Structure 1
């Protein structure tokens, strides 16, 4: 299994901080999620980190044991 980690407002939208998913292409993983959550995760302002390293490419294929974290834009003043 691979793990999705949701931070900030994405935790509320997902209803949890982490979710175990089957390995595979990110597009396939997102297709299995609630459509509102998947749409929020695809927002270009959401950064992603694969196993702790920020990546710019969303053409990710998750392997067993991978952790993919979604970091929403930070707001505040």
Structure 2
């Protein structure tokens, strides 16, 4: 429960999203079973993001991920 904050920013070759919430558990990247009601979010991020990570913040956690922008060349 609590507020969720989303911050989007752009680098020359990536869209970077940061999601902050009050949850204390850091995310796990695991494939969920067909009957699971949760656990798919970080697996999806892992599939589409160039990079991702997380860190504990004052009253919860922040998860970030970088999505490559169309037409951007790696390393530019």
Greater helix share, 1 or 2? 1
* Greater length-normalized contact order (CA 8 Å, ≥ 6 residues apart): 1
Give the number of the structure whose alpha-carbon radius of gyration is greater: 2
Give the TM-score normalised by structure 1: 0.36
Give the TM-score normalised by structure 2: 0.36
Greater strand share, 1 or 2? 2
